Amino acid sequence: MSSRLVNWFKFSSPSTFYPLAGKIGFWSMVVTVVLLAVGLYMSFFVAPTDYKQGEGYRIIYVHVPAAWMSMFLYVLMAGWAALGLVFNTRLSAMMASALAPTGASMAFIALWTGAFWGKPMWGAWWVWDARLTSELILLFLYLGFIALQSAIDDPRRADRACAVLAIVGVVNVPIIYYSVIWWNTLHQGATIQIRGESSMDPLMLTTLLIMTLAFWAYCIAVAMARVRSIILERERETTWVGEMVKEGRA
């Protein structure tokens, strides 16, 4: 057991994780392309028309995965940031920094597609609905993390400050999830139940899950590409980066 832990622990080093991130990123992008092609085809041509919302409901296949990823990535970012704060590991802080822009883009896509969905359904591009407002706060938390990272010159100090912000802000994630239960909102409740039968058509549900996996793979691929750039930037003075640059492997 101890030897296995040692083998896994070696990947906490940026120099060891760098090539692994390249492999993970490559195969994640391959999976993204395949799943996205299948998911989009099913979204437009296979999934049935909703009997209430008509064809306009199809934006759900982008809106919902983006919203799920925006919440999941923030929890993941906060987890990496906490590990970096507690154990002072360089790679943990780099991973948190790499996840922030992707999470911000997912939150923006969720809000943007939500506006397009809300206009024909609610008659307005935006309402101060509890879920919409808390999702907007999530976007601001992402942007605040990115801005704070850029505002502090010392990377170590920036990592600590951003870690505190991420950990404090994670309380917003359960608020987003449970907002439709805690408050009377325009936003519809959950149609997919972890326990119990889902109220969604099986074909619609299959399409949504494929699109969610495509978004998940995309987020992994982009995060791996970004963390490799961060590693090269922060480790540029080290011997292993210099040797890799000379060999043309960077």
- The answer to whether residues 191 and 199 touch, using CB atoms and an 8 Å cutoff, is yes
Query: Token pair for residue 55?
Result: 């064809």
Q: How far apart are CA 201 and CA 127, in angstroms?
A: 28
- Would you state the structure tokens that stand for residue 162, as one six-digit string? 């951003």
Q: What's the pLDDT score for residue 1?
A: 44
Return d(Cα 62, Cα 68) in angstroms, integer: 10
Count the Cβ atoms, other than its own, within 10 Å of residue 13.
Answer: 13
Q: At what angle do helices 90-122 and 14-41 cross, to 10 degrees?
A: 20
What single letter denotes the amino acid at residue 217? A
Least confident of 17-31, 167-181, 200-214: 167-181
Residue 209 pLDDT > 70: yes
Task: Give the model confidence (pLDDT) of 12-24 as tens digits.
Answer: 688 889 999 999 9
Between the alpha carbon of residue 103 and those of residues 14, 32, 196, the distances in Å are 22, 17, 30
Residue 128 main-chain phi, psi, to 5 deg: -80, 60
| Confidence at residue 232, expressed as pLDDT on a 0 to 100 scale | 92
The strand pairing partners of 54, in sequence order, are 50
Query: What are the structural domains, with CATH classification, of the chain?
Result: 17-247 (1.20.120)
What's the pLDDT at 68? Answer: 95
Q: At 226, list the tokens.
A: 């970004």
Q: Which residue has the higher pLDDT, 237 or 205?
A: 205
pTM for the model stands at 0.88
Q: What pLDDT digit, counting tens, does each position of 35-45 carry? A: 999 999 999 99
